[in-house]
Structures are given as structure tokens and as C-alpha cells.
A and B are shown apart, each in its own frame.
Chain A
Amino acid sequence: DIQMTQSPSSVSASVGDRVTITCRASQGITNWLAWYQQKPGKAPKFLIYAASSLQAGVPSRFSGSGSGTDFTLTISSLQPEDFATYYCQQANSFPLTFGGGTKVELK
């Protein structure tokens, strides 16, 4: 199975800050990577697919990059509604696997 490792596990930031989250795959997955946002008590929301393609309706302050084993999710200017937990997921092969999550908290 492909292991996905996210860092940091949590980050404290203020509104307007630039936030970057890293995801590393245990083996190369080309660009088969997705990102999700989850708020407390809610189901995950699909943000990014193919490492860098924004899902329809997702604000442009979200961006993704990377290929192979190393990927990043960047929020260019953090908004109040962005405080949440973010997960990466490899879509290269089954079983699908998720990173452990990164909680973005208010500083």
C-alpha cells in the first residue's frame, strides 16, 4: 500500500496568512493526488485533483503543486472559512490512502 505522510499535523495562522501543507507519498504517484477540506461535524469537501486542478467552485486562493512523491497545498490568503482540517489522498492505485491530516487553526 502507498503511505501518505502530511506535515505539519497542525498549523496556527491568522487571517490573510499564506499557508502551505506538505504531503509525501511512499512511492511515486505521478500526479495522482487529491486534496480535501473537512470542517468539524461535516463530510470532507473535494478541493483539488490531479495534484493541481481546482474542483469547480473552489476559490482560487487554493492551489496545489507537485508530482512524483512530494506535493503541496497552498492557501494564498487564509480566510475565516478556511480554518479546517486538510487531507491528501493518493489516487494512483487501490487501496486508496489518505494522509493523516493537517489542522489549520487560528493563531
Chain B
Amino acid sequence: EVQLVESGGGLVQPGRSLRLSCAASGFTFDDYAMHWVRQTPGKGLEWVSGLSWNSVSLGYAESVKGRFTISRDNAKNSLYLHMNSLRPEDTALYYCAKESSRRAARTIDYWGQGTLVTVSS
């Protein structure tokens, strides 16, 4: 069974940093691209960033470019999101998500339950 478990969220002041982690299990982690997608309370979904199986960047949303960095450790079956210079508008539930195919499908078949990031003074 595929499991994605996010951690690292919490309350943080504007301008500070936070690192999210995602522990993956139930599939061959280093076969798949992985993504972070966020959802603001009561609102829609926004893709944040993605990373190929071999750590080639798939890009970032314009809203986080230059502030967030995605990374992975295939030996630990883990995905990370390093978030710097956090802003109130980064407040959201952050999902770790698995790409649906070994080939570049750019769709997501499994999502974690999310970790909530709140940026406020």
C-alpha cells in the first residue's frame, strides 16, 4: 500500500524558514517523480514544485520561485521542501504527491494527508 506521510508544518513568522518532509513507502520510490501541491483553506489546489526520480527539477510555481527548494533522498525514500522567506500567502496545507507513471505522465495518483503551514506574526 502506497503511503506518503508529511511532517514539518507548523506556525512560523513571516520571513522565517521551514523544512517539510515526506516519508514514502509501498512503492519503489526512486522510480517516480514526486511533487508538492498546496491548498489554501477553503480554496483550490496549487502545484508548488516537482522533482524527477533522479533529482532533476521539474520547476516551481512562480509564487515560490527563488524561495522554495525541492529535494529528495532516494536512500531514505524521502522528499523535502525547503521554504525560505515565508509570507502569509504561503499559508496552506502542503501535500506530498506521487506521479502516476514512471514515464512523464505529470499526473498524481497518490497524495499524503498534508501538513499545515501557517505563516503569521
Binding site for B on A (CB under 8 A): 1, 32, 34, 36, 43-44, 46, 49, 55, 87, 89, 91-101
Given contacts A96-B47, A98-B46, A100-B44, contact A46 B107 (CB under 8 A): yes
What CA separation (Å) do A94 and B109 show in the bound complex? 17
Q: In chain B, residues 93-113, which have Cβ atoms closer than 8 Å to a Cβ of chain A? A: 95, 100, 105-113
Q: Mark B5-27, 1 if CB is under 8 A from A, else 0.
A: 00000000000000000000000
A49 contacts B105, C-beta separation under 8 Å: yes
List of B residues within 8 angstroms of A87 by Cβ: 44-45
List of A residues within 8 angstroms of B111 by Cβ: 43-44
B45 contacts A32, C-beta separation under 8 Å: no
User: Can you name the residue of chain B whose Cβ is closest to the Cβ of A6?
Assistant: B44
User: Can you name the residue of chain B whose Cβ is closest to the Cβ of A100?
Assistant: B44
What CA separation (Å) do A55 and B59 show in the bound complex? 26
Query: Does B62 sit within 8 A of A, measured CB to CB?
Result: yes
Minimum CB–CB distance from A62 to chain B (whole Å) comes to 15
Binding site for A on B (CB under 8 A): 35, 44-47, 50, 58-62, 95, 100, 105-114
Given contacts A46-B100, A49-B100, A49-B105, contact A95 B47 (CB under 8 A): yes
5 A–B contacts, CB within 8 A, in A order: A43-B114, A44-B111, A87-B44, A95-B62, A101-B44
List of B residues within 8 angstroms of A55 by Cβ: 100, 109
List of A residues within 8 angstroms of B109 by Cβ: 46, 55
A1 contacts B100, C-beta separation under 8 Å: no
Among A44, A87, A99, A101, residue most surrounded by chain B Cβ atoms (within 10 Å):
A44
What CA separation (Å) do A87 and B44 show in the bound complex? 8
Other-chain contact of A98, B35, B45, B59, B62 (Cβ < 8 Å): B45
List of A residues within 8 angstroms of B107 by Cβ: 34, 46, 49, 89, 91
B95 contacts A43, C-beta separation under 8 Å: yes
